């Protein structure tokens, strides 16, 4: 794998995002590697729990904005309908990568430090248990590039007993919030000292790995029956398939890269 490192430690499988120089941002290759890693894990009979982390100072700063324009690029000769279909296929592929994480047949524990922005929240909402360090920062960032989160956050977090008012505030504003607010939201279940994050998540993993694998498998299969998730993701993909052709998205991306202020036209 180019962007992920998988290491089996007894009955625990440790999966790490390995793009620390790029703040572990999500590239096209990372989405492909994620699906491939899930296949490997599900085909390994003696894995009882997965620990998912990011190497370096940050868990994941979301979509790689430097690569994003090329990912959304479509041939100029195509009409808008055909371009939209290609964007739809791209969104569905990304949704599949996120959903594949939730369909790992054993529990997935995520350890979050530093930035967890945009697509990284889509990613962690697909996991079973989320711990973060005191220095963790979060943002449902997609609104700042003129779009709605389309690969799981709005659908999954809305079903996960989140504080609805706070969740909507964060989705509408894209503001950065800290570990304690993430705990209050229900996005994470525990906040630990910065130097204790790995110890805590592996300690939890060892407890889960010691339990009956049949019992754990059954619990996981019941808990991951997410009500109407597929239909909601389909609606999201069909809604956002045309948003890539507005001026709002390049305006937002440029503002983030240059650290300027985006000025969006009226609706």
Per-block mean pLDDT, blocks of 10 residues, the chain (267 long): 93 97 94 94 95 98 81 75 84 83 93 96 94 97 83 79 87 96 96 97 98 95 77 78 74 82 83
How much is the pLDDT for 77?
A: 77
Element (H, E) at 236: helix 229-240
Q: What residues contact 118, with CB distance under 8 A and at least 6 apart?
A: 61, 62, 63, 139, 140, 141, 142, 149
DSSP 144: G
How much is the pLDDT for 198?
A: 97
What length is written for the chain?
267
Q: Are 228 and 154 a contacting pair, CB within 8 Å?
A: no
Cα 167 from Cα 164, distance rounded (Å): 5
Determine the angle formed by the axes of helices 28-42 and 80-102, rounding to 10 degrees: 40
How much is the pLDDT for 226?
A: 65
How much is the pLDDT for 83?
A: 81
How much is the pLDDT for 32?
A: 92
> What are the Cα distances from residue 248, in Å, to 27, 197, 227?
21, 38, 32
Q: Are 188 and 112 a contacting pair, CB within 8 Å?
A: yes
Q: Are 191 and 183 a contacting pair, CB within 8 Å?
A: yes
User: What is the SS3 assignment for 45?
Assistant: coil
User: What is the SS3 assignment for 79?
Assistant: coil
Q: Are 41 and 13 a contacting pair, CB within 8 Å?
A: yes
How much is the pLDDT for 38?
A: 94
User: What is the SS3 assignment for 224?
Assistant: coil
Q: Are 138 and 176 a contacting pair, CB within 8 Å?
A: yes
Closest-CA residue to 118 (of 140, 98, 96): 140
The residue behind tokens 């620390």 is 20
List phi, psi (to 5°) of 136.
-65, 140
Edge-first strand listing for the sheet containing 177-178 = 115-117, 137-139, 177-178
Its pTM stands at: 0.89
How much is the pLDDT for 34?
A: 93
The residue behind tokens 């204790």 is 196
């Amino acid at each position: 794998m180019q962007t992920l490192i998988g290491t089996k430690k007894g009955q625990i499988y440790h999966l790490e995002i390995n793009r620390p120089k790029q703040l572990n941002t999500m590239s096209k290759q990372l989405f492909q590697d994620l699906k491939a890693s899930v296949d490997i894990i599900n085909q390994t009979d003696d894995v009882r729990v997965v620990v998912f982390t990011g190497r370096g100072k940050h868990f994941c700063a979301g979509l790689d904005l430097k690569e994003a324009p090329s990912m959304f690029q479509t041939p100029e000769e195509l009409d808008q309908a055909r371009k939209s279909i290609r964007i739809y296929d791209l969104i569905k592929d990304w949704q599949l990568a996120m959903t594949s994480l939730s369909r790992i047949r054993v529990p997935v524990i995520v350890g979050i430090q530093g930035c967890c922005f945009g697509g990284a929240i889509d990613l962690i909402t697909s996991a079973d248990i989320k711990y973060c360090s005191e220095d963790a920062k979060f943002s449902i960032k997609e609104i700042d590039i003129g779009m709605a989160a389309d690969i799981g956050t709005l659908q999954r977090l809305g079903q996960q007993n989140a504080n609805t008012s706070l969740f909507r505030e964060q989705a509408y504003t894209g503001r950065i919030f800290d570990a304690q607010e993430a705990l209050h939201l229900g996005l994470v279940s525990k906040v630990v000292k910065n130097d204790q994050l790995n110890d805590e998540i592996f300690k939890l993993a060892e407890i889960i790995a010691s339990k009956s694998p049949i019992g754990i498998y059954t619990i996981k299969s019941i808990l991951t029956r997410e009500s109407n998730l597929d239909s909601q993701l389909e609606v999201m993909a069909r809604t956002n398939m045309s948003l890539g052709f507005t001026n709002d998205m390049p305006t937002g991306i440029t503002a983030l890269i240059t650290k300027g202020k985006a000025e969006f036209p009226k609706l």
